[in-house]
Amino acid sequence: MTTLKRKIGQMFMVGLRGEELTQEEKKFLKGYPFGGFILFSHNLKEPKQILSLCRSLRGTGNGDPPFIAIDQEGGRVHRLPAPFTHFPPAAFLGRTGNPDLAYRFGLAAARELSAVGVNLNFAPVLDVHSNPNNPVIGDRSLGPDPKQVTTLGWSVIEGLRDGGIIPCGKHFPGHGDTAQDSHLELPVVEKDVTSLQTVELPPFIHACRNQVESLMTAHVLYPALDSTYPATLSHAIIGKLLRQGLGYQGVVFGDDLGMKAISKNYPLREAVSRGVHAGVDVLLFCHQQEEAIEAFDFLCQAAEKEEQTR
C-alpha cells in the first residue's frame, strides 16, 4: 500500500457493524487503512468481548496504532454496558461546582475505558448551556456559566489524561445555544462575535491555551463567523479562528458527516472537500462505511491528481 493511501487513511474514523469485525469488514480494512474506529452500544456486550474487539482493531495491520473512540459522557450519552459505571449527566457534576469531583469522574471513566482497550473519549462537552430549550445539549453540558464549564471541563480533561485516555472537547465553537438538533437539521446561532466570545468560546479558549489533545467541531452555522458554511466546513472558523486566532495545534475531529445538518445540505464529496480544506484532521463516519470508502477514494484521486500537476 502506498504511503499516500496510508496518510489519507489516518484522516478517517469509522463505525463498525457489530460486536466483532465481520468478514466483509476484515476484507475492506486491508485495502482501506482507516486510522480510527468509533464504538457504539451495538458494538459492546461485556468486558472480554470489548477487549477482544479492540485488540482485533489494533491488529488490522494498517501501520500506526488506531484511535479507538467512544462517546462516554455519562447520562444519556453512555455506551459501556453493565458492569461498567453509568455515570450521571454532566449537569449533575456541574451543580456540585467541585473541580476535584470532576477530575475524579474523568479519572474513573478513563480507567474503565483503558481496561478494555479504548484510547479516546469524545468528552467532555465544553458547550455552555445558554439555551434552556436546546434539544440536543441540555444536561450534557456542565452548566450555563462559562466559568464553571471552563473550570470543571478542564478538570475532567485532566482526569481523562491521567487515566491514559485522550480527551476530546466538543463541539467547537459551541453548540449550547442552538434551538435545533444537528442530527436532524442545520442549526443557526445568530449571536454576534462579542456574545460568542463572552459565552460560547471561553471553555474552548482555555482548553486550547492548555493544549488539549483534540477537539470536535459543531455542525452549526454561525453567521457572525461565517455566513455561508457551518463550523465543520468553515475555514474561517477552523483555519482562522481556531488555528490562527487561538493557536491550536491539536487534532481536529469533524462531527459525524452522516448527521443531517451536513448530509441534507451538502453532497458527500463537497462536504469532505470543504471539511479538509477548512482544517479538519479526521473525518468521522459513524454509521456509513460505504460513504467512508467513497470519500477515501475521492481524496486519493484528488491527491494523486495534485501530485501529477506539480
- List, by residue number, the catalytic residues: 183, 255
Residue 176: CA count within 13 A, CB half-sphere: 30
On whether the CB atoms of residues 87 and 75 are closer than 8 A, the answer is yes
- Pairing state between β 283-285 and 12-15: parallel
User: 308: buried, middle or exposed (CB in 10 Å: 19+, 13-18, 0-12)?
Assistant: exposed
- Cα Rg of the chain, angstroms: 19
Residue with cell 444537528: 182
Instruction: Give the Cα-Cα-Cα angle 198, 203, 259 (nearest 5 degrees).
Output: 100
| Cis status of the peptide bond prior to 187, with omega within 30 of 0 | no
Beta bridge partners of 166: 120
The one-character DSSP state at 231 is: G
The Cα 117–Cα 114 span in angstroms is 5
Q: How would you class 2 by CB atoms within 10 Å of its CB: exposed for 0-12, middle for 13-18, buried for 19 or more?
A: exposed
How many other β-carbons are positioned within 10 Å of the β-carbon of residue 301?
10
